[in-house]
């Protein structure tokens, strides 16, 4: 039996422009374009996922992908989408799957927060003429420092915990080899190295050929322990224990066996073609004390030479959990908000579980300060950062740095079609198919990532300068530089900001 459904999109081809070159036919891995027996191109709308690959490459701009939302009788409850989900499940009985981050129209708090600037009473700084410091150190800071004067020179006596130094407060988020292609990993590693920042292996291990980027690599130890061995830990700049991910808090991961080819198998240390299942919890972590044991095992294993990060998804009790993580000995706490992306997640979890990163940063920063332990761990915020404005606001709310995942993918070519889980990414990013993977030229992708972060860093410098601040350090947690527009009293309380128009004092 076949259930007939209106395709999500309509492919329109301007026949006056189309030269029948077949570029679209060759580019669409979903086979939405075909040649008929007379050699004429035509399209099958229902196969299209709206990734825009064909549109981008059609040399005559003959293609348009248009929304084809079916007309359902006006109903805010039973929208076309809700009905479509039900049809799909009525047909399959399965769990709805999707990719990328939460697309629902929850409030985006960044768009309700505005920054300050200097006028008359305090001078702004021109970052092109004066030094502007974006350098950021991530790692545990001491409670106090002891300095001794030796021959009139100050000498630091306190032993400082290991730190990683970022030239700009932006890192690339955990995205595993397996979920993304080798070329995508290569581009991230290369861009991070050139930018003086870090990329993160995710739970997929580090491919042999990418050890050259190890000094700029954060390696993950996740519940599946894929690809973890002593050389992996030793090579890295920092180690991240992955507890949770913003897109799917509380559940594990699943890399389908089709994506586990020889190279992924070797890197992850699992048999070719086997499903890589990451359990929802770490089976050795049931408490903060257990977490502490893993943190210290990793510290012991690497002789206390590198910071250990713990990544969690932002959930209701995030502040208390973060406090526990700091007390457990983590040097960095990475918090992933509910707009964080993923290669594959059950749709209902992606769209309904977790909290916005803005509220989580504010809550965690406030809690750690109250408890007098904010210095013990740096905070990296993640989950849907779209531009430099979001980044600088996150820092003003209390984050030390920001992880970019989706934005980095978009810079490389991703058009957020949310079909990462199919392994057929037409942009060569979320795929292991050798034919598709080649579409991501690591030279081009690395340059685009570099350009993006460079552009954002410039903008951050300018905004800092505008506020009369010459170092990102001075903005960190400085919520006086933020004001709220259109938020409730309770939201402002959690964010720790005042309404726009209230004075600086």
Partner 1 sequence: MKRVYAKEEVCIGCRLCEVWCRTEHSRSKNIIKAHKSEFPPPVSRVLVEELMPVSFALQCRHCDEPECVESCITGALTKDESGRVVYNEEKCVGCWTCVLVCPYGAPQRDLERKKIAKCDLCPDRDTPACVEMCPNQALVYEER
Q: Quote the CA–CA distance of 370 and 363 in Å, as a whole number.
A: 11
Report whether 13 contacts 63 (CB < 8 A). yes
Report whether 446 contacts 190 (CB < 8 A). yes
Q: Residue 341 or residue 428: which is nearer to partner 1 going by CB?
A: 428
Report whether 411 contacts 149 (CB < 8 A). no
Report whether 192 contacts 170 (CB < 8 A). no
Q: Residue 53 or residue 242: which is nearer to partner 1 going by CB?
A: 53
Q: Residue 27 or residue 323: which is nearer to ligand SF4 going by CB?
A: 27
Q: Quote the CA–CA distance of 217 and 230 in Å, as a whole number.
A: 15
Which residues of this protein are in contact with ligand SF4, per CB under 6 A? 11, 13, 18-24, 27-28, 30, 32-33, 41, 48-54, 58, 60, 62-63, 65, 426
Which H helix or E strand runs over 199?
strand 199-200
Q: How many CB atoms lie within 10 A of CB 64?
A: 13
In whole angstroms, the minimum distance from the beta carbon of 54 to ligand SF4 comes to 3
Q: Residue 65 or residue 463: which is nearer to ligand SF4 going by CB?
A: 65
In whole angstroms, the minimum distance from the beta carbon of 187 to partner 1 comes to 12
Q: Which does 434 bind (CB under 5 to 8 A by kind): ligand SF4, partner 1, none?
A: partner 1
Q: How many CB atoms lie within 10 A of CB 164?
A: 24
In whole angstroms, the minimum distance from the beta carbon of 418 to partner 1 comes to 23
Between β-strands 345-346 and 97-98, what pairing exists: parallel, antiparallel or unpaired? antiparallel
β-bridge mates for residue 148, sequence order: 155
In whole angstroms, the minimum distance from the beta carbon of 194 to partner 1 comes to 18
Indicate the SS3 state at residue 38: coil
Q: Residue 22 or residue 486: which is nearer to partner 1 going by CB?
A: 22
- Sign, CA torsion 366/371/377/382: negative
In whole angstroms, the minimum distance from the beta carbon of 96 to ligand SF4 comes to 19
Q: Which does 53 bind (CB under 5 to 8 A by kind): ligand SF4, partner 1, none?
A: ligand SF4
Q: Which does 41 bind (CB under 5 to 8 A by kind): partner 1, ligand SF4, none?
A: ligand SF4
- Sign, CA torsion 216/222/224/228: positive
In whole angstroms, the minimum distance from the beta carbon of 4 to partner 1 comes to 33
Report whether 255 contacts 237 (CB < 8 A). no
Q: Residue 53 or residue 479: which is nearer to ligand SF4 going by CB?
A: 53
Token duo for residue 481 = 């530089």
Q: Residue 24 or residue 285: which is nearer to ligand SF4 going by CB?
A: 24
Which residues of this protein are in contact with partner 1, per CB under 8 A? 16-17, 19-23, 26-27, 57, 59-60, 428, 433-435, 438-439, 441, 443-444
In whole angstroms, the minimum distance from the beta carbon of 22 to partner 1 comes to 7
Q: Which does 50 bind (CB under 5 to 8 A by kind): ligand SF4, partner 1, none?
A: ligand SF4
């Amino acid at each position: 039996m076949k259930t007939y459904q209106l395709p999500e999109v309509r492919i329109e081809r301007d026949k006056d422009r189309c030269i029948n070159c077949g570029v679209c036919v060759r580019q669409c891995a979903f086979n939405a374009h075909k040649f008929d027996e007379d050699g004429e191109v035509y399209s099958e709308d229902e196969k299209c996922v709206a990734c825009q690959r064909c549109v981008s490459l059609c040399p005559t701009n003959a293609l348009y992908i248009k929304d084809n939302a079916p007309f359902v009788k006006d109903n805010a409850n039973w929208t076309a989408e809700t009905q479509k989900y039900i049809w799909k499940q009525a047909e399959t009985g399965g769990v709805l799957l999707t990719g990328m981050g939460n697309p629902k129209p929850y409030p985006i708090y960044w768009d309700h927060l505005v920054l300050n600037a200097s006028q008359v009473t305090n001078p702004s700084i021109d970052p092109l003429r004066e030094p502007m410091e974006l350098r950021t150190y991530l790692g545990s800071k001491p409670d106090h420092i002891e300095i001794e004067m030796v021959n009139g020179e100050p000498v630091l006596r306190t032993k400082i915990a290991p730190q990683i130094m970022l030239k700009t407060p932006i890192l690339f988020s955990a995205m595993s080899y397996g979920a993304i292609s080798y070329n995508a990993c290569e581009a991230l590693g290369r861009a991070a190295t050139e930018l003086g920042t870090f990329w993160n292996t995710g739970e997929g291990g580090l491919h042999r050929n990418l050890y050259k980027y190890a000094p700029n690599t954060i390696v993950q130890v996740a519940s599946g322990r894929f690809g973890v061995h002593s050389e992996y830990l030793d090579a890295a700049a920092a180690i991240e224990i992955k507890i949770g991910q913003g897109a799917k808090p509380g559940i594990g991961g699943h890399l389908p066996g089709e994506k586990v080819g020889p190279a992924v198998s070797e890197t992850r240390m699992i048999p070719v073609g086997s499903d890589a299942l990451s359990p929802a919890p770490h089976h050795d972590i049931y408490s903060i004390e257990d977490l502490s044991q893993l943190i210290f095992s990793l510290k012991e294993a690497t002789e206390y030479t590198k910071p250990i990060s713990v990544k969690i998804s932002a959930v209701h009790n995030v502040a208390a959990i973060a406090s526990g993580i700091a007390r457990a000995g983590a040097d960095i706490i990475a918090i992933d908000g509910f707009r964080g992306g993923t290669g594959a997640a059950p749709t209902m979890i992606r769209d309904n579980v977790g909290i916005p990163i803005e509220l989580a940063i504010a809550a965690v920063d406030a809690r750690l300060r109250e408890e007098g332990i904010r210095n013990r761990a740096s905070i990296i915020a993640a989950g849907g950062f779209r531009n430099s404005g979001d980044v600088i606001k996150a820092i003003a709310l209390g984050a030390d740095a920001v992880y970019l995942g989706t934005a980095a993918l978009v810079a490389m070519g991703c058009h957020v079609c949310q079909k990462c889980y199919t392994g057929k990414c037409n942009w060569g990013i979320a795929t292991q198919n050798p034919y598709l993977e080649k579409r991501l030229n690591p030279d081009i992708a690395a340059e685009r990532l570099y350009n993006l972060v460079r552009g954002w860093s410039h903008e951050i410098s300018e905004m800092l300068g505008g506020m009369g601040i010459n170092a990102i350090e001075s903005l960190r947690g400085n919520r006086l530089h933020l004001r709220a527009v259109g938020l409730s009293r309770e939201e402002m309380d959690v964010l720790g900001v005042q309404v726009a128009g209230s004075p600086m004092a």
